[in-house]
Structure 1
């Protein structure tokens, strides 16, 4: 706790000084993202040292990763609103590479959890379903609780870009009819998964950077339609209950759409044409995206 308080104190001193001297709100956002990643990294290492029960450790790691993901993406909203989608894309690209190296597991997302259950050689039993539900609950908990941390920081209004943002009413990113939004989220999620799986099997050099570039490009492409979340937990943390759509519409677009796209990617990837394309490619060198980690 003392370490966290000391880090926060140093962080605030740096932020205030930078803001007064250079009036650089983008630097303020960058430092907040760095602080969020640092705190999550420390929490993850603490859990790995203290918690001995494997499944409980997994649940806590899922919650921490979801909190880090959503906390950083809350600040990326500020970046996008004030500095444009291009700057947002650069930040997202760098963060995606960082997460792929630091998390030690694929991104926290219910789409991954339930997709993995479908890939099991046997029909998932009650134990598998219970674990999937608990993992989903852990991710949602981390993603929803982190807003209090973000809100506390925004309320300080260190930068002009944070003025009145802590308690303002949020607006939904869905700019198209619900059905179209669900299709956008589903198709883009499916494409992301196919690209990641292909890169993981082909194992090219700089696979993580390539995967990050593809994912970021798809997010930018969907930005003005559905917001480009491709992750139900992230969408729920950032936009559930916002003006512009009902909770049911939100669920249809960001849960049903994304999960359907993720599941569809499993079956598309098994098609003979896709397998022939992947297996027929020449073997390449380099590190895989999630080397020796679960999909």
Structure 2
């Protein structure tokens, strides 16, 4: 272990020295993401210790999760713009795994609550309160991001704190809504399947599928697949109206999510799930002996 750490240290020193101008801004972005995740983790632990009422605790956890998600994704935009989509995808993949392991029952995503209502696992009032908590966390976190950007520690943050944002939608509104809806539907179907099949490395597989879909939609709608995330990062930005934003990122994503609930109940899908669980034709499944 010590040898590995020493080698990594030497490697980083060489890289920073040779390519300081390019590498340093990425380090700054990485440190911001780590700081944001650490603060969210501490806030989550504090809530778990101080708040006793389960639903109130969940509301705080939803707000924290949404703030962490949106805060990190603000910086991921910087990474994508300056270091490419491939680098962005690596960071998103790692963060998705981290969020899956640390958020508990929080989702930071409104349409999961809609799914619960449809399936009889939740009620409308609680779903609306969860969505309100998520929006609160997602919108308030920009002030924190803005303070960090205003320091202009690296060139990639120059003027970002005061810069007017631009919409990511690169296609007509209806096409954007279809992209968000179809990708959300596919992702939710995959997540439900992984939840029932419980394969080995389910979290990593889920993160890979989600990241792949985001990258595929990146040049069309931005690939948000989460209304709160899209609202926090892009609502009111130049390029579309608030109504168009709502159609693409709220109506599109929520419609895809609702559709996934009914598609997943189709006999052809359920028969496949039950058959796979019994047969175990691949070694990634949890109860398959290697």
Instruction: State the alpha-carbon separation in 2 of the partners of residues 83 and 65 from structure 1.
Output: 26
* Structure 2 SS opposite 1:212: helix
User: Which digits, 9 at most, give the CA deviation of each residue in 1:3-49, with x for residues without a partner?
Assistant: xxxxxxxxxxxxxxx89x94410011001000000000000000010
CA contact (8 A) 1:172 1:244 kept: yes
CA contact (8 A) 2:58 2:105 kept: no
1:261 to 253, 256, 263: 256
* Runs of 4+, deviation exceeding 6 Å: none
Contiguous gaps of at least 5 residues in structure 1: 1-17, 287-295
For residues 102-121 of structure 1, the aligned pairs below 5 Å read 102-105=102-105, 107-120=107-120
2:286 paired residue number: 285
Q: How many angstroms does 1:97 deviate by? A: 0.6
Return the TM-score normalized by structure 1. 0.87
Q: Larger relative CO (CA 8 A, sep 6+): 1 or 2?
A: 1
1:172 paired residue number: 167
2:75 paired residue number: 75
CA contact (8 A) 1:229 1:254 kept: yes
* Structure 2 SS opposite 1:170: coil
Contiguous gaps of at least 5 residues in structure 2: 1-15
2:129 paired residue number: 134
1:12 paired residue number: none
Return the TM-score normalized by structure 2. 0.88
Instruction: State the alpha-carbon separation in 1 of the partners of residues 184 and 62 from structure 2.
Output: 20
For residues 89-238 of structure 1, the aligned pairs below 5 Å read 89-105=89-105, 107-120=107-120, 128-238=123-233
- RMSD of the alignment, in Å? 1.5
CA contact (8 A) 1:172 1:243 kept: yes
CA contact (8 A) 1:70 1:146 kept: yes
User: Which digits, 9 at most, give the CA deviation of each residue in 1:70-99, with x for residues without a partner?
Assistant: 000000000000001010000000000111
